[in-house]
Amino acid sequence: MLLKGKTAVISGAASARGIGRATARLFAEHGARVAILDLDGAGAAQAAAELGPDHAGLACDVADPASCRQAAERAIAALGQVDILINNAGISQPMKTMEIGPEDWRRIVDVNMTGVLLLSQAFIPHMRERRQGSIACMSSVSAQRGGGIFGGPHYSAAKAGVLGLAKAMARELGPDGIRVNSVTPGLIQTDITGGKLTDEMRADILKGIPLNRLGDTIDVARIYLFLASDLSSYVTGAVIDVNGGMLIH
């Protein structure tokens, strides 16, 4: 029980086979009360109900500041306090540079990068007041190796931005007792690829993974658990790879 008595907010945790959902389950198993925030409000409520009566599911668009503020107020009211924020929500698009239109760019950057800022801003005053908190942010191996897995260059740019943002927040918020870290997964088997990952692409990707398998959502959930818990009490500004060795650097 690594999170006994703790409370956690996880964004993008409604989708049934997603990383956020697996994280919510693992955190609950470790004793945390969880608030699931997702664009899919009904899905969030259902996911929370599946965890049990102590958990909450709330609609939230991480790309919208007012929606983040409102969800934060509700999450704090539902949980009493918030110890952990997992900035997990994200979307992807397999596109090449010349195919990216202004709206594609905006949406990918807004959800994947700006969303991390907006949701963090909604919880930082509360964490500062309590002089404690752990924030973990979802980046991607795409940020480190320049894409080439599934998401396009705009996804790669947004996820690279998350790394800079999280490191800068770690530096700024450390004196307030708030830790901020990032995770950089390789290809994890979820629905984010929207059925567009062909068997050929999968076989090609496998050739470059020393552990010889794609990642499972639990592989990432366990790293979020480490970052959320006191096991990582002296870790801030860190980036943890969860990629089976796809990128060793």
Task: Name the site residues for ligand NAD (rule: CB under 6 A).
Answer: 11-12, 14-15, 17-20, 38-40, 60-63, 88-92, 111, 138, 140, 185, 187-188, 190-192
Smallest gap from Cβ 242 to ligand NAD, in A, equals: 8
Smallest gap from Cβ 234 to ligand NAD, in A, equals: 25
CB closer to ligand NAD, 73 vs 129 = 73
The closest of 134, 130, 92 to 113, measured between CA atoms, is: 92
The closest of 93, 103, 102, 114 to 158, measured between CA atoms, is: 114
Report the largest interatomic distance among the alpha carbons of the chain, rounded to a whole angstrom.
51
CB closer to ligand NAD, 19 vs 228 = 19
Query: Is the distance from CB of 235 to CB of 181 less than 8 angstroms?
Result: yes
Smallest gap from Cβ 205 to ligand NAD, in A, equals: 10
CB closer to ligand NAD, 17 vs 202 = 17
Smallest gap from Cβ 9 to ligand NAD, in A, equals: 12
Q: How distant, in Å, are the alpha carbons of 13, 25, 178 from that of 122?
A: 18, 24, 14
CB closer to ligand NAD, 30 vs 145 = 145
Catalytic residue among 27, 123, 150, 155: 155
Give the CB-nearest residue to ligand NAD: 90
Q: Is 155 a catalytic residue?
A: yes
Q: What is the DSSP string of 84-146?
A: EEEE---------GGG--HHHHHHHHIIIIIHHHHHHHHHHHHHHHHT-EEEEEE--HHHHHT
Active-site residues, by number, are: 155
